[in-house]
Amino acid sequence: MFDAKKLLDQFLGSQLPGLSGSVRDKAGQFGGIAKNNPLKSAGIAAAILGTKTGRKLAGNVATIGGIAAVAGLGYLAYKNYQSGQSPQAAPQPTPAGNQPIALPPPDSAFSLESPQLTNDFALTLIRAMIAAAKADGHIDAAERANIMEKVHEVDLGSEAEAFIRNELANPVDIDELVAAARTEEQKVELYTATRLTIEPDTRAERGYLDLLAGRLGLPDALLDHIDATVSAAKVQA
How does pLDDT run across 53-86, given as a tens digit for each residue? 554 554 555 555 578 888 989 999 999 999 998 9
Cα–Cα distances in angstroms (integers) from residue 75 to residues 72, 101, 111, 162, 217, in the given order: 5, 10, 9, 31, 18
- The CA dihedral of 173, 178, 181, 187, to the nearest 10 degrees, is 130
Q: What is the CA radius of gyration of the chain?
A: 16
Q: With beta carbons less than 8 A apart as the criterion, state whether 228 and 207 touch.
A: no
Dihedral sign for Cα 184, 186, 187, 192, please.
Answer: positive
Reported pTM: 0.81
All residues at 6 or more sequence positions from 113 whose CB lies less than 8 Å from its CB, including other chains: 106
> Within the chain, what is the greatest distance between any pair of CA atoms?
47
> Which amino acid is residue 192, in one-letter code?
T
Instruction: Pick the closest to residue 225 from 108, 53, 112, 79 (CA basis).
Output: 79
The CA–CA distances, whole Å, from 214 to 84, 159, 193, 209 equal 22, 33, 16, 9
CA distance 57 to 95: 9
Q: Are the C-beta atoms of residues 168 and 134 closer than 8 Å to each other?
A: yes
Q: Are 217 and 154 contacting, i.e. CB atoms less than 8 angstroms apart? A: no
pLDDT of residue 192: 93
The pLDDT assigned to 146 comes to 80
Q: Is 25 helix (H, G, I), strand (E, B) or coil?
A: helix
Q: Which residues of the chain have pLDDT under 50?
A: 15-41, 51, 55, 58, 97-98, 237
What one-character DSSP code corresponds to residue 175? Answer: H
What pLDDT score was predicted for residue 75?
94
